[in-house]
Amino acid sequence: MSATLLSPPAPPRPLRRVTRARDADEQAHNLSQWDQRYDQLSPGHFEGSVTELWLPRSQVFVETANRQLRQTCAAWPRSVWFGIPAARDGMMSLGGKPLSSRAVCIRDGGAEFDLLTAPDFNLFGIVVDRLAFAEHVDRHAHRDLDRLLQQGDVLNLEPARKNALCAALTAILADAEGPDAAGSSADALQLRIFDALADMLMGPDTAPGHVSRSRLAHQQTVERVRQYVLQHPDQPPSIPELCERLHLSRRALQNCFEDVAGMPPLSYMRSLRLNEVRRELKHNRGRRPISSIAYDWGFTHMSQFARDYRRMFGVLPSESVREV
């Protein structure tokens, strides 16, 4: 009786894809396995892209957008996210913490966080399976991942080291396009990612980022206003009402929003409400009148609402319905 020779299973291949979006929420949904919600804060037509690579134990991506966004995000469970923004000092923030040009952000998967982006931003993201990465760090460097991550959720690198990390990730994404080349198999790319992140965490010049108490207080004020606007959609508060509710002067309230969001409170609240209207228009698919949805979010003057909507998104409300 002759034996049947079975070929060994083929090694896993890297999965790479590029998606483009013309809507902030569409951009949020284009990043696989994330729970996300985006609000567009700066006015104009939105254009964004995600270049994404999946490996056996990690996800690597580059996200770009031409408008400022407020992103509410959570990576997939039992993972660790590393975010590397390319922005000047203070142009982005994580949970209210301003990010320097040297910043690398770190958050546990499954835990929600807020990211305020620059008006025209580019961000590298790496999500790794926590257990697999911990085993790699322990086996190759004899270090404990949990202790390394206790350095904080924002680390600052020397510019040369941050540039080298971004260059390494760019090379990994490029090499994934030719998986037959040496060093570009899924396992080899995975090892390169783990090595780059471990080197970053253990570098002698890696330092935790700091944030002032006043900045955290400002962030808490902005978040309280955001929650109030979302919970009372048809009753947008006036500035005097907010000042009375928050026990702040007009100047103090203005300073909070300029510091955290880079815009006055009325502009910020209007952008939140316009984003909610846009979501409902796309979800509703024309089943309810535009005026009814706008009224639900406190827009009682339709001509002014249409102007505000077009200024924010570059299209009329009726065009958003037709796009769906």
Residue from 66, 116, 122 nearest 90 by CA: 116
pLDDT at 10 over 60: no
* Residue 307 within a domain: yes
CATH number at residue 84: 2.60.120.10
35 and 169 assigned to the same domain: yes
pLDDT at 13 over 80: no
Tell me the C-alpha distance between 72 and 95, whole Å: 10
* Least confident stretch, 5-9, 101-105, 288-292: 5-9
Which of 169, 186, 208 represents a domain boundary (last residue)? 208
pLDDT of residue 303: 95
* Least confident stretch, 7-11, 212-216, 268-272: 7-11
pLDDT of residue 107: 96
Look up residue 151 and give its amino acid. Answer: Q
132 and 44 assigned to the same domain: yes
Tell me the C-alpha distance between 311 and 324, whole Å: 20
Tell me the C-alpha distance between 42 and 268, whole Å: 9
pLDDT of residue 152: 87
74 and 217 assigned to the same domain: no
221 and 92 assigned to the same domain: no
* Residue 2 within a domain: no
- The C-alpha angle 130, 179, 134, rounded to 5 degrees, equals 15
Segment 27-83, tens digit of pLDDT:
999 999 999 999 999 999 999 999 999 998 999 999 999 999 999 999 999 999 999
25 and 86 assigned to the same domain: yes
- The C-alpha angle 171, 156, 96, rounded to 5 degrees, equals 110
200 and 218 assigned to the same domain: no
38 and 178 assigned to the same domain: yes
Helix (H) or strand (E) holding 265: helix 265-284
Tell me the C-alpha distance between 66 and 47, whole Å: 6
pLDDT of residue 266: 96
pLDDT of residue 183: 58
* Residue 233 within a domain: yes
pTM over 0.85: yes
Residue from 170, 175, 184, 57 nearest 124 by CA: 170
SS3 of residue 119 by DSSP:
coil
Segment 213-259, tens digit of pLDDT:
898 899 999 999 999 999 999 899 999 999 999 999 999 999 999 99
52 and 199 assigned to the same domain: yes
Which of 190, 208, 226 represents a domain boundary (last residue)? 208
pLDDT of residue 88: 77
Q: Are 4 and 34 in contact (CB under 8 A)?
A: no
229 and 115 assigned to the same domain: no
Which of 155, 179, 208 represents a domain boundary (last residue)? 208
CATH number at residue 261: 1.10.10.60
pLDDT at 7 over 60: no
* Residue 23 within a domain: yes
pLDDT at 8 over 50: no
Altogether, the residues listed in the chain come to a count of: 324
* Residue 196 within a domain: yes
* Residue 168 within a domain: yes
- Measured distance between the N- and C-terminal CA atoms of the chain, rounded to whole angstroms: 63
Segment 140-169, tens digit of pLDDT:
999 999 999 998 899 999 999 999 999 999
* Residue 152 within a domain: yes
189 and 102 assigned to the same domain: yes
199 and 262 assigned to the same domain: no
* Residue 64 within a domain: yes
* Domain count of the fold of the chain: 2
90 and 122 assigned to the same domain: yes
Give residues with Cβ within 8 angstroms of 151, minimum separation 6. Answer: 201, 206, 208
pLDDT of residue 203: 83
Domain containing 78: what range?
A: 15-208
CA 264 to each of CA 26, 252, 278: distance values in angstroms, whole numbers, following the listed order: 27, 11, 21
